[in-house]
């Protein structure tokens, strides 16, 4: 078995992955984070593809698996799609999917337990908000546009829908248009749902990013704000 490995480092102009032989003792899958030799270094990378076809060139053995299923297959497919859609090198796209501390095999800090906070009493939906929420819940579609001026109560609709999804043991991703708005959105949803969300944005430190990533990956975090 042979594996194409993707790293966050640039390999070459015409080559974006490295091919290694998978030892027979190693049970490997697409998405695993592995360690391999490269010249005089030891690098880490994600298994992008597996093949039983022997390359025409000499291959070295992978060293070990650092983390199984660090990325899921659908994430791997998304990485490939983004490369084609946005003409972005694979190594740069990978950086969006996995924290630097993990891909470089830094010490992994155990994710902190998701804290519970005292839930504030939430506003009762008015008739129009209730109608919107019910229409979304019973619809077979998965894309909706909620139109309303500032202060019309759209956020209450989002809060109610998030509460429904979390009650079904699903995760909710809330995208904020500006990082500067993140604190007030966090405060609003913390009080409304009684949980502290995981936050993902460019202002986080590497340890904060790693902690959020681990909690989201393990399904420990039900609300993600990005």
CA distance 21 to 34: 12
Contacts of 185 (CB under 8 A, 6+ apart): 174, 176, 225
CA proximity to 62, closest of 5, 21, 120 = 21
Tokens 């990082």 found at: 179
Structural Rg of the chain based on CA atoms? 21
CA proximity to 46, closest of 1, 107, 3 = 3
Contacts of 146 (CB under 8 A, 6+ apart): 132, 154, 157
The tens-digit pLDDT sequence of the chain (226 residues) is 999 999 998 887 778 999 999 999 999 999 999 999 998 899 999 999 999 999 999 999 999 999 999 999 999 999 999 999 999 999 999 999 999 888 876 666 565 655 566 677 667 899 999 999 999 999 888 889 998 888 888 999 999 999 999 999 999 999 998 999 999 999 999 989 998 899 999 899 988 898 999 999 888 999 999 9
CA proximity to 186, closest of 216, 209, 155, 165 = 155
Helix ranges, the chain (H): 73-86, 90-94, 100-103, 127-138, 154-167, 182-193, 206-217
């Amino acid at each position: 078995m042979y594996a194409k490995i993707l790293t966050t480092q640039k390999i070459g102009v015409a080559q974006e992955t490295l091919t290694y032989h998978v030892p027979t003792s190693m049970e490997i899958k697409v998405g695993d984070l592995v360690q391999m030799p490269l010249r005089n270094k030891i690098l880490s990378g994600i298994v992008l593809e597996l093949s039983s076809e022997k390359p025409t060139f000499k291959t070295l053995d992978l060293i070990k698996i650092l983390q199984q299923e660090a990325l899921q297959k659908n994430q791997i497919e998304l990485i490939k799609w983004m490369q084609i859609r946005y003409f972005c090198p694979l190594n740069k796209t990978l950086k969006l999917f996995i924290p630097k501390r993990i891909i470089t095999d830094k010490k992994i800090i155990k994710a902190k337990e998701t804290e519970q906070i005292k839930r504030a009493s939430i506003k009762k939906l008015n008739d129009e908000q209730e109608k919107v929420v019910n229409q979304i819940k019973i619809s077979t579609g998965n894309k909706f546009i909620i139109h309303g001026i500032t202060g019309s109560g759209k956020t209450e609709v989002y809060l109610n829908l998030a509460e429904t999804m979390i009650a079904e043991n699903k995760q909710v991703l809330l995208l904020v248009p500006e990082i500067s708005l993140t604190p007030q959105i966090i405060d609003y949803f913390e009080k409304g749902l009684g949980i502290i969300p995981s936050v993902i944005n460019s202002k986080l430190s590497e340890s904060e990013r790693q902690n959020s990533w681990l909690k989201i990956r393990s399904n420990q975090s039900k609300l993600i704000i990005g």
